[in-house]
Structure 1
């Protein structure tokens, strides 16, 4: 290309091109302000064309832009300058320069205006973006800091960093880590910073310790990021730090909770083992003695059969708990035997046919001629027995249960199907969970929720599986899939047939008992007044016992579930209803609500029997219309008294209503109001009394389980003790005969059974006391009383036991010692301490000393027993702890007595301590404040009454 040569013509051409295309305006005015030059493409933004304004006054053309006129005058004054001008919606950068003649006089102004609108808008947007980023960084909860790459000095900090480190930003900016942190820590930070800048890569530091000014040592999760120039040179280091101190502490707390849960699991397994040990001994004694008595003849056979059935129900519960404990510990193994599954299934289904006939249910078996398999016959029997029992609970009268067995390759498939309501697909996995029942805890068909869990566990123990399908009959079909052969190397017995028969005989008897006793007659006539009492109770034995208890004084009708109870109440119009709380089809509280909807029954007194320990349920029953409740186990005389009192009150109200029937409507309305208020007052008073108890509910599953176990254990124990008491009194009234049906040996054996049942009741009561303490349901009511009187009563009760062991049992101390506390709770404390001392003392004495010193009652129980090693003294107050292993136990107990005693003393606002010397005995000391303490010493529940 030829070299470019600038000439006047080429310069003019270039200028013309620039003016045509660049967003500028070239202008000139003379000294009078007349425009002499006006050209350039920028004129279009002002609504003008090139040359359009030549010859016109600049002051007129831009009259709407005063800054233009001001700047022209300034330039005519001889000053050259640059100014920013806003004209007609655009921004302009204008350069003004005066023109002069040969003498230097100003002859005009020449200038160039550039349209900078786009640049100004970009600058404004950039400022807005920077402001937004600053606001975000300033308000982030994490610490944000920036260091320069050269000297690693802080150039930026946000508010979170200022608050975390405890230094004002003014002190931080321009300084480095060595100005604020220990050298070792500053070296660590600096090394990490240099590594990030040298590598040019982000560095993630999950955990680093930092010492702050005001918050001590904190733990941070930090990310460090290099900020580089376009050529790759590091300019800055950006740091983002999150304070994770509280998260670390929460994780540590979570780990502690997990460790505690593992410890609780260990204690639970130990509890199950201890309970099983203690329950099996009295149960074995009961069953052995009863079987001996059953061998005789006479009218006692019915009562003894009932006792035997209750004992078997308890034994089934114990076996279930023991099996679960062994499964948890991995100690349960199949005892394989070669059996004919067809024969085994047939024997078990035949055993259930009597029970099915009573419920008007048909059992159908579809079995092959023979099916040989290597299984544990005891566990397969338990599987089938639990499935059949479950099916009969949920099939309505007139329903059908099908049991099918068939070979499926090298496996056996067992099906138990029913025509009940079925199980939704989304709930089928839950039915195999322990203690799980798909109905509410009150709407029940019996059981603790262990049966189907054991089915699944036993099936899997064989290497099989348990599942649920929809049955062609319309209900649920439980499918058990089992291998036909034992695992390689397993020992297999070959006496399978005999084993099967023994299993059936024991399993069916223990798990489900003999056929249910006959229901009491629908009506029992009274020998006394004509009041009609309706008894609603699903347990046939308890229903019969209640009817027989009330029959001497009242007419009695019986119903066996809530729905039948409602129907009979509407048809009979009873004077009083006595109902259980937990029943199938319709629960007791549901029946109460339905009854209160009918005007004819809205004044009928209702008494609720309940084995539930929670106060919320009892309060709800009272609010919904029940007049009273009775807790299981109960006294027969208590039931009679409560029924009689409520019937007397109803009779008085009925008489009052009859006498006032002739009065006008206003008087009748007033009387109804008085009676209703009376009822409300009774309910409110009862509710107020119950609300004084501490009521802190545990978790839903624990609460439901306690309610279920309380019902399952208390109901048979109550019936067992009442029947034994009746039996003992009946035997005592008859003269002994030699060789006859009734002998003194019979009486002594019945008393032994009663003693064993008492031990069983004490154990269950101890477990429930422990549950009440753990859930905060223990009620403490304080009043003044004589401590020596309570202690003396306890010693009198234990004198026979002391004499049998040849021990002295006596009390020392002041003649009268008044204490403001709860005598009932203190009596439990002294009973536990004195019985514990007598249990472990074989010779010598047990001495109780009562004295008062500095406003504190001090009660000491001293014995001459073996003493307690120093290293074991803290353990004895832990629940389920015993100094001797189970296999070496000589004394009964599960390790709850001293734990409960300590918690009871604490509930009274006191403390329990022990002083002991091995070989010389122990002294347990109870210290209680003589008067209620200050609010920070004694809980509010413990200060009531004094």
Structure 2
């Protein structure tokens, strides 16, 4: 569209007729009317006379250039007289070309055609720049998404392998690289160690069947030659149109799960074996009581009843240990705290286990009388376990020593015995479930005692550890002296910080 602004009616008509053969033409007869129609119609080019009443041509040029919507519209000036200075001003104000009256129709059409061609070229160039900018921004956004996705995949704990539609690997995570053990790809194997046939690989099946392949248990060979158990599955990557773009394979190392299964099976075996012993003793003693037509002598009856009672108590202790271990693991072990001191607890434990530990030396400082907020029953359970363990695994001809020491923020208790020191491996696992050492006799129990001790001490906010030196074994635990805000807590989380070394000092000794 060409807007012609000319106040002379005859000239306006001539220009409109000359340009109307090739373009849509709209006319205006003064500057104000021309500006109004330019705003309304947004023409592709404006042809305007310079000298007009009201708004002149040069004022129209400046007004059009001041408007953002029209600042790119080319303007051709028509003038009767134009010196160099006026021409420079018009061109500087925003006019693209000018014609001096009188002018030929052919020259007018040529100038208008040239400006419109230039205008179309600029529009195409602008559109191309916009398109290129959009494509560049889209490419940058796609690159950012790809980098983000690669970073996520790279840091996933499971191995992830991406392929294209032809099965070529395009990306694999750090875990997948580690799992490949130096090979170009992760080699999936069956439980015997033989590689999975190519058609049965999860990625190949996902590409061919165009559906998710459920995880199944397989193996990969580690760098040290071990067969590592894994779960491997794959899904096809589909476009919006349903075309297969590639596949994603996820391989999960289930070594820890397998270890849990092994521990569970071991636990079931240990529980079944150790619980069978007191049950068998109860059954045999009960059979003796009811066997035969003649009743057993009173002495034999009392002996059988005593064995039944002892076996039942042992069975009850095992069941209690199992319940405590379960509560500790689930964070539901209740610690009912009351204000108390350790001296009475230690003295009672030493007296009660006198048969198992005939000589128990108590080396108690004023920390034994420190008022603590503790569960006396649970601390008694801890000390009983430590003292009986010292008697069971220590030198039966040497005394057991129970010591207390007062520190700034806690009271430390140590149970020491002479005998074979724990190995480095035993010191690491001594507080684990079902950990049992080699006793001088035939030990009873499930191997949960020290595991429960750790849970009880940590439930009080203390710490428990073992040290071996000079042919002696020292089990230490601490109880905080700060008064907790609550009167009952659950045994959860790691222990509070305690004393890492045991400082001995002279104190009165007592033998029980």
TM-score interval, normalised by the smaller of the two chains: 0.5 to 0.7
Relative distance call for 1:135 and 1:911 in structure 2 (3 A) is same
Is the Cα contact below 8 Å between 2:461 and 2:480 reproduced in 1? yes
Is the Cα contact below 8 Å between 1:811 and 1:847 reproduced in 2? yes
What residue in structure 2 maps to residue 902 of structure 1?
A: 454
Matching residue within 142, 145, 148 for 2:144: 142
Matching residue within 380, 405, 421 for 1:827: 380
Task: State how 1:12-91 maps to structure 2 within 5 Å.
Answer: 33=11, 38-39=17-18, 42=21, 45-46=24-25, 59=29, 64=34, 67-70=46-49, 74-77=78-81
Matching residue within 324, 332, 341 for 1:786: 341
Is the Cα contact below 8 Å between 1:779 and 1:941 reproduced in 2? no
Matching residue within 265, 288, 312 for 2:284: 288
Matching residue within 417, 422, 425 for 1:868: 422
Relative distance call for 1:140 and 1:44 in structure 2 (3 A) is closer
For the pair 1:765 / 2:320, whether they are aligned, the reply is yes
Is the Cα contact below 8 Å between 2:373 and 2:484 reproduced in 1? no
SS of the residue aligned with 2:422? coil
What residue in structure 2 maps to residue 502 of structure 1?
A: none
Is the Cα contact below 8 Å between 1:98 and 1:107 reproduced in 2? yes
Q: Deviations over 1:822-845 (max 9, x none)?
A: 122211110111121222243332
Matching residue within 472, 477, 497 for 1:926: 477
Is the Cα contact below 8 Å between 1:781 and 1:941 reproduced in 2? no
How far 1:280 sits from its partner (Å)? 1.9
What residue in structure 1 maps to residue 353 of structure 2?
A: 798
Distance, in Å, in 2 between the alignment partners of 1:73 and 1:130 is 35
Relative distance call for 1:119 and 1:144 in structure 2 (3 A) is farther
Relative distance call for 1:35 and 1:923 in structure 2 (3 A) is closer
SS of the residue aligned with 1:142? helix
SS of the residue aligned with 1:777? coil
Name the structure, 1 or 2, with higher relative contact order (CA <8 Å, separation 6+). Answer: 2
Distance, in Å, in 1 between the alignment partners of 2:343 and 2:278 is 34
Relative distance call for 1:921 and 1:296 in structure 2 (3 A) is farther
Matching residue within 307, 320, 323 for 1:752: 307
Relative distance call for 1:43 and 1:107 in structure 2 (3 A) is closer
What residue in structure 1 maps to residue 131 of structure 2?
A: 129
Is the Cα contact below 8 Å between 1:912 and 1:924 reproduced in 2? yes
Relative distance call for 1:763 and 1:78 in structure 2 (3 A) is same
Q: Deviations over 1:369-403 (max 9, x none)?
A: xxxxxxxxxxxxxxxxxxxxxxxxxxxxxxxxxxx
Is the Cα contact below 8 Å between 1:849 and 1:860 reproduced in 2? yes
Relative distance call for 1:24 and 1:788 in structure 2 (3 A) is closer
What residue in structure 2 maps to residue 318 of structure 1?
A: none
What residue in structure 1 maps to residue 190 of structure 2?
A: none
Is the Cα contact below 8 Å between 2:282 and 2:312 reproduced in 1? yes
Relative distance call for 1:119 and 1:740 in structure 2 (3 A) is same
SS of the residue aligned with 1:874? helix
Relative distance call for 1:798 and 1:34 in structure 2 (3 A) is closer
Distance, in Å, in 2 between the alignment partners of 1:208 and 1:779 is 44
Is the Cα contact below 8 Å between 1:770 and 1:900 reproduced in 2? yes
What residue in structure 1 maps to residue 411 of structure 2?
A: 857
Relative distance call for 1:872 and 1:740 in structure 2 (3 A) is closer
Is the Cα contact below 8 Å between 2:454 and 2:463 reproduced in 1? yes
What residue in structure 2 maps to residue 808 of structure 1?
A: 359
Deviates more, 1:759-768 or 1:62-71: 62-71
Aligned residues: 344
Uncovered stretches (5+) of structure 2, i.e. residues with no partner: 39-45, 51-75, 88-94, 152-167, 175-249, 496-512
Uncovered stretches (5+) of structure 1, i.e. residues with no partner: 1-22, 48-56, 82-92, 100-105, 146-159, 165-202, 210-250, 298-738
Relative distance call for 1:139 and 1:846 in structure 2 (3 A) is same
Relative distance call for 1:31 and 1:774 in structure 2 (3 A) is closer
Relative distance call for 1:131 and 1:70 in structure 2 (3 A) is farther
What residue in structure 2 maps to residue 890 of structure 1?
A: 442
Matching residue within 872, 876, 879 for 2:433: 879
Is the Cα contact below 8 Å between 2:456 and 2:491 reproduced in 1? no
Is the Cα contact below 8 Å between 1:813 and 1:851 reproduced in 2? yes
Matching residue within 907, 911, 915 for 2:467: 915
Matching residue within 367, 370, 383 for 1:818: 370
How far 1:277 sits from its partner (Å)? 2.1
How far 1:63 sits from its partner (Å)? 6.5
Relative distance call for 1:30 and 1:922 in structure 2 (3 A) is closer
What residue in structure 2 maps to residue 182 of structure 1?
A: none
Matching residue within 840, 844, 857 for 2:398: 844
TM-score, normalization by structure 1: 0.31
Output the aligned Cα RMSD.
4.9
Is the Cα contact below 8 Å between 2:334 and 2:490 reproduced in 1? no
What residue in structure 2 maps to residue 564 of structure 1?
A: none
Distance, in Å, in 1 between the alignment partners of 2:298 and 2:448 is 39
Relative distance call for 1:207 and 1:867 in structure 2 (3 A) is closer
How far 1:95 sits from its partner (Å)? 6.8
What residue in structure 2 maps to residue 627 of structure 1?
A: none
